[in-house]
Structure 1
């Protein structure tokens, strides 16, 4: 059996009889290139962390006490800790064999449920109130500005007038730093009677967990079901879930990955829906423009320009709707750059964050990402 088969086909180990499917079988890199990539990734994480500590100690304005991560070092236990530990052990022990044996649809349901439980358990380490119900009600968050929205079309049309700081009625931090899509989502929830931090967090968690379905669906469509089944345990225990529960990043992730999965199916209606999802993602976060690169890669792998064109049509519809209501994406993006330079973060040293961002990426995606790319 080749190392590739061990990595991508957990069922093949079961078929041999003398070997069992374990997390280690699909976890441990077995090729030299994978080992080198894993070691390089680990060294990059360590180097950026050590450099971050050193720079913070001498007063360099990284504005990230836990560099390369934006946050604070605050080790603690909470109500979600036992659940998170138990779930992690369960996925490590039983995840691969279940991924090999469950029917495909049943596996996707199990993947969604387990990923949702993992994210919730991590959020509950801070407790129900601090970890979930009050997480999106901070003054920097979207819910802070929801009461200001009395007229949704007027909010979209006048959105760019309130991006810059130092003027009356400026948007709060997260609202000003993103297109109006996220504020629109939470405003709609409020109009539907689902206002407040609890409902906002619940919906964000439910949408974010869609990534645990979208990723294996994408892998199956682009490669095969064996590889898709092998990836499920890793998607369930996604390290970045600690930021998805609960923040709007979960909303962004669920929408963007679902769009990619629909595009990968290579059928007309899913491609159109995928384009609508990816178009919506562009109006949730300016950074999600990078998802277009993934979308193009999907089209190249599938050799389906028709699907890309249909998806582009769907995304264009979303952009046209926002433009019709008075919001032009490029105007918002250029204003966000100005808003960034108005704040303290503009002082952050570029030389560090060129590498620090890569370290943060490997920490959030998991160090094994480096090995998987070889």
Structure 2
């Protein structure tokens, strides 16, 4: 309860400090990149009913179903929960994300030649360059753009359906997290974690591109865990290819390497490291041969980042307010689990190790000054591992704390218009 209260205090401070100091921290509703806009209607009633039903049913089902059915039901429940929240604003709830000029879809439609787009990618990052990329494409490696180019090429170019695809693929991260814990020898704890991961408040941001990146990274980590557990070099190479591609989805996913190292440490599968590294190197060399070098692009991006709104967002505020914004995606139940998470870490419980490592990556991202606001979506690839932490708490806490997770998501959806 004290830990949860600390989370509340941090959120309140992040709301109050800008008002007391009369300082513009460059978001509309600190600490979230959102607008205060309470609204209600029959679609919100549906979302509330879905949330209550899942709160009641998921724990009971995941306790009794077979393991395969538990994974399937949890993933399906996460999809239903995220869709019910997104559709409270009708089709617009998902379409508005990808209708904006600054989003990936706009630039993806401008790509006629993928090879040329890659070879000129770095030159088009600066805002003053001719035919520059818009904000999200310029802020990410080209793997993100290519993902949306692929959707466009196969005929998924309507903003609403793009949102549906991203949300659907993103919710598969639930299955990947649970299966990874199982491979690491924690099936029963994974079963307990299932409702927590499925009903985490991060569902409000499930339509953002980072939701897709979270799923790709989670499946890559699952492959690595399987390779290490069963000494399978071919699977380790596949894991390296997937995790290597993650580096070209988001610059921040370089920190996901910490979770990969955690899996290697938990399994003692260090012999698989060279094989996985070969997979990562293959992806990097492929992009480099096509004209894009990650290590050359990042300094250029940093210049553009600080030439824009980042220079107006005070580091002294965001270095801690980022965690307040992030609280809206993990909920107070996760804060309540932190003391038990620390105790479980000493026993090398896989869930605790992975969640703590993800927390370490999050803190590092905030300290880096490259994460200032908007972390409610940016940190999704790490957040999906942390939200499993309440599974470490006694079962008697499950019903009341799980209800707060549903409540936080409904509050965010009903009272706020989030950017994603």
Is residue 2:2 matched to residue 1:39?
Answer: no
Q: Given the alignment of the two structures, is residue 329 of structure 1 paired with residue 294 of structure 2, yes or no?
A: yes
**C-alpha distance 325-198 of structure 1, shift in aligned 2 (>3 A):** same
Structure 1, residues 325-365: CA drift from partner, whole Å, max 9, x if none?
01001222111111111113311111111111111222212
CA-to-aligned-CA distance 1:15-50 (integer Å, 9 cap, x gap): xxxxxxxxxxxxxxxxxxxx4333322322222222
**In the TM superposition, what are the counterparts of 1:356-367 in structure 2 within 5 Å?**
356-367=321-332
2:109 touches 2:152 (CA, 8 Å); kept in 1? no
C-alpha deviations, 1:259-298, integer Å up to 9, x for none? 1222222342443332222111111111111111111111
Q: Is the 8 A contact 1:52 1:68 kept in 2?
A: no
Are 2:276 and 1:311 equivalent residues in the alignment?
A: yes
- Structure 2 CA distance, aligned partners of 1:207 and 1:323? 27
Q: String of CA shifts for 1:97-130, please: whole Å, max 9, x gaps.
A: 21111111111111111111111111112211x1
The structural deviation recorded for 1:139 is 0.7
Against the structure 1 CA distance between its residues 97 and 219, is the aligned structure 2 distance closer, same or farther, given a 3 Å change threshold? same
Task: Show the counterpart of 2:119.
Answer: 157
In structure 2, relative to structure 1, the CA distance for the partners of 1:98 and 1:172 (3 Å cut) is: same
Counterpart in the other structure of 1:166: 128
Q: Is the 8 A contact 2:118 2:290 kept in 1?
A: yes
CA contact (8 A) 1:141 1:173 kept: yes
SS at match of 1:62: coil
Q: Which residue of 1 aligns with 2:208?
A: 247
Identify the match of residue 238 of structure 2 among 260, 268, 273.
Answer: 273
SS at match of 1:263: helix
Question: Is 1:187–2:149 an aligned residue pair?
Answer: yes
Q: Tell me the secondary structure at the aligned position of residue 76 of structure 1.
A: coil
Higher mean Cα deviation, 37-46 or 136-145?
Answer: 37-46
User: TM (normalized to structure 2)?
Assistant: 0.76
Cα distance in 2 for partners of 1:78, 1:306 equals: 56
Q: Partner residue of 1:13?
A: none
Whether the aligned pair in 1 keeps the contact of 2:103 and 2:136 (CA below 8 Å) is yes
1:233 CA displacement: 0.6
Question: 1 CA distance for matches of 2:297 and 2:168?
Answer: 28
Check if 1:73 corresponds to 2:39: no
Alpha-carbon distance in 1 for matches of 2:268, 2:125: 41
Structure 2 distance, partners of 1:253, 1:352, is 26
> Which of 218, 223, 237 does residue 262 from structure 1 map onto?
223
Secondary structure of 2:60 counterpart: helix
SS, match of residue 35 in structure 2: coil
Aligned to 2:197: 235
> Structure 1's 216 and 292: CA in aligned 2 closer, same or farther, altered over 3 A?
same
1:226 matches 2:192? no
Assess if the C-alpha contact under 8 Å between 1:212 and 1:235 holds in 2: yes
Residue number in structure 1 paired with 2:79: 116
What is residue 48 of structure 2 aligned with on the other side? 85
Segment of structure 1 superposing worse, 325-334 or 73-82: 73-82
Summarize the Cα distance change of 1:222–1:286 in structure 2 as closer, same or farther, 3 Å threshold. Answer: same
1:270-309 mapped onto 2 (5 Å cutoff): 270-309=235-274
**Correspondence for 1:178 among 121, 134, 140:** 140
* Paired residue total: 335
Q: Is the 8 A contact 1:209 1:254 kept in 2?
A: yes
**Superposition CA RMSD, Å:** 1.8
TM-score w.r.t. length of structure 1: 0.85
Partners in 2 of 1:132 and 1:264 — Cα distance?
Answer: 34
Question: Distance in 1 between the 2:14 and 2:327 partners?
Answer: 11
Cα drift, residue 302 of structure 1: 1.4
Q: Is the 8 A contact 2:123 2:129 kept in 1?
A: no
Unaligned stretches of 5+ residues in structure 2: 343-420
The runs of at least 4 aligned residues of structure 1 exceeding 6 Å deviation read none
